[in-house]
């Protein structure tokens, strides 16, 4: 019997291809694991009306971790139009499977390390090493949305919120509402996770990202909770910045920042910005982490136009596998994997198209796998 049971969730598009490359590397590391395929992605939305079928949810209840590739997502109306004819008109509404996984399993930490590896031609500046903590279950991604807006909701908001008055006369299908919901618990635990990480890994500063000067209720509460948590970590500097300003300041001087923590939407934005500074989404890895389960993934999408070409850079997925090894407690294997990846990047002989080369997805996976035994000796 294998030591670990890993849910293997390729998804669709280039997700299938980058996961193949990751498997080559994991096999080279000889991880004692059973990889159990899970159905997820656009195919299952179209055929079953559910991109995350109940059988896959059940699988996730009985694994040690999961590795996820990528899936296609489309707006509600476009998604409904692609349902099989027998499923259309049944009121089915598409929701992102990764967002659903985060909420179903309370994967409240989205951990996104952004590191500039030596030798990459895509680095904005050498030496960048940032870590983003994104709250993963609340905020504007809570899924509480209305379009068209029910008349009873419109009446309630008109009675309770004076600024809503200018929208009240509109027809119900002339506007839409997405609710930004943040809780004290959700705010406190993501900030605490960021500080605990900083303490454990010798990081010097945590920056809280918000827009409390305008979004006073939700972001104001997030900032207040962050300041309270910071009191428990006197050895770590804490500052804060507005989401619009941090975009400018990160580009101006990324070395002024270390660990950043933010509500869901802002974390999504700044983590992609940070990923771009270290090579783009082909290098951006992510962990969706809860108390009992963690799902690891590249931050890129399914890139349908590239599907089947095996040209996508799999490094993000391979580094996501490294994060999974850390989560499982396989620290030695995680170090070896990262060293092997860093060696291939620094050598520069194998590069995918985004890095200016012509290597395939599997070429990159095999090159990193070939360096694993050498990495063990360093």
Domain-located, residue 121: no
Mean of pLDDT over the chain? 95
Q: Which of 219, 253, 277 is the last residue of a domain?
A: 277
Domain-located, residue 118: no
Domain-located, residue 122: no
In what helix (H) or strand (E) does residue 239 lie, and over which residues does it extend? Answer: strand 237-242
Domain-located, residue 120: no
Q: What is the pTM for the complete model shown? A: 0.94
Model confidence pLDDT, tens digit, residues 265-289: 999 999 999 999 999 989 999 999 9
Q: Is 205 exposed, middle or buried (0-12, 13-18, 19+ CB in 10 A)?
A: middle
Confidence at 375, pLDDT banded by 50, 70, 90: low
Q: Which of 257, 277, 297 is the last residue of a domain?
A: 277
| Backbone torsions φ then ψ of 372, nearest 5 degrees | -60, -45
Same domain, 291 and 241: no
Question: Cα 280 from chain centroid?
Answer: 14
CATH code (residue 55): 3.40.718.10
Same domain, 269 and 321: no
Domain-located, residue 242: yes
Same domain, 102 and 187: no
Same domain, 161 and 187: no
- Please name the residue ranges forming H helices in 62-174: 76-81, 97-104, 151-160
Model confidence pLDDT, tens digit, residues 293-329: 999 999 999 999 999 999 999 999 999 999 999 999 9
Domain-located, residue 119: no
Least trusted range by pLDDT, from 68-77, 206-215, 349-358: 68-77
Model confidence pLDDT, tens digit, residues 112-159: 999 999 999 999 999 999 999 999 999 999 989 999 999 999 999 999
Question: Cα 287 from chain centroid?
Answer: 6
- Residue 13: closest CA among 352, 296, 309, 314: 309
Q: Strand 4-11 and strand 109-115: pairing?
A: unpaired
Q: How many domains does the chain have?
A: 3
Which residue range(s) make up the domain with 261? Answer: 129-136+182-277
Q: What percent of the chain has pLDDT over 90?
A: 92
Q: Are 36 and 324 in contact (CB under 8 A)?
A: no
What is the C-alpha separation between 131 and 133, in angstroms, rounded? Answer: 7
pLDDT, residue 325, reads 98
Domain-located, residue 225: yes
pLDDT, residue 300, reads 93
Domain-located, residue 162: yes
């Amino acid at each position: 019997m294998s030591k670990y049971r890993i849910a293997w969730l390729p998804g669709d598009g280039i997700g299938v291809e980058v996961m193949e490359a990751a498997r080559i590397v994991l096999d080279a590391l000889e991880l004692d694991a059973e990889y159990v395929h899970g159905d997820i992605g656009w195919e299952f939305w179209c055929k079953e009306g559910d991109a995350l079928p109940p059988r896959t949810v059940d699988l996730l209840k009985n694994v040690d971790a999961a590795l996820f590739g990528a899936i296609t997502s489309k707006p509600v109306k476009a998604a409904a139009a692609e349902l099989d004819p027998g499923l259309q008109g049944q009121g089915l509404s598409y929701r992102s499977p990764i967002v659903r996984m985060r909420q179903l399993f309370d994967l409240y930490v989205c951990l996104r390390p952004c590191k500039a590896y030596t030798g990459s031609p895509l680095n904005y500046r050498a030496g960048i090493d940032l870590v983003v903590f994104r709250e993963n279950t609340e905020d504007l991604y809570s899924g509480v949305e209305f379009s068209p807006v029910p008349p009873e909701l419109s009446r309630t908001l008109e009675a309770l919120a004076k600024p809503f008055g200018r929208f009240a006369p509109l027809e119900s299908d002339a506007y839409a509402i997405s609710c930004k919901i943040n809780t004290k618990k959700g705010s406190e635990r993501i900030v605490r996770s960021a500080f605990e990480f900083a303490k454990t890994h010798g990081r010097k500063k945590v920056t809280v990202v918000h827009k409390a000067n305008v979004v006073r209720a939700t972001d104001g509460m997030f900032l207040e909770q962050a300041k309270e948590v910071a009191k428990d970590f006197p050895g770590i500097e804490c500052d804060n910045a507005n989401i619009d300003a941090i975009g400018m300041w990160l580009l101006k001087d990324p070395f002024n920042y270390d660990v950043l923590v933010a509500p869901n939407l802002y974390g999504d934005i700044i983590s992609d910005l940070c990923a771009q500074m270290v090579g783009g989404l082909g290098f951006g890895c992510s962990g969706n982490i809860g108390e009992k389960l963690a799902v690891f993934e590249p931050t890129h999408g399914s890139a349908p136009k590239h599907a089947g070409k095996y040209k996508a850079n799999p490094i993000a997925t391979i580094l996501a596998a490294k994060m999974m090894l850390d989560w499982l407690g396989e620290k030695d294997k995680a170090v070896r994997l990262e060293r092997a990846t860093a060696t291939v990047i620094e050598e520069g002989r194998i590069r995918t198209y985004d890095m200016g080369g012509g290597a395939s997805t599997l070429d990159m996976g095999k090159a990193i796998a070939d360096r694993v035994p050498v990495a063990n000796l360093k």
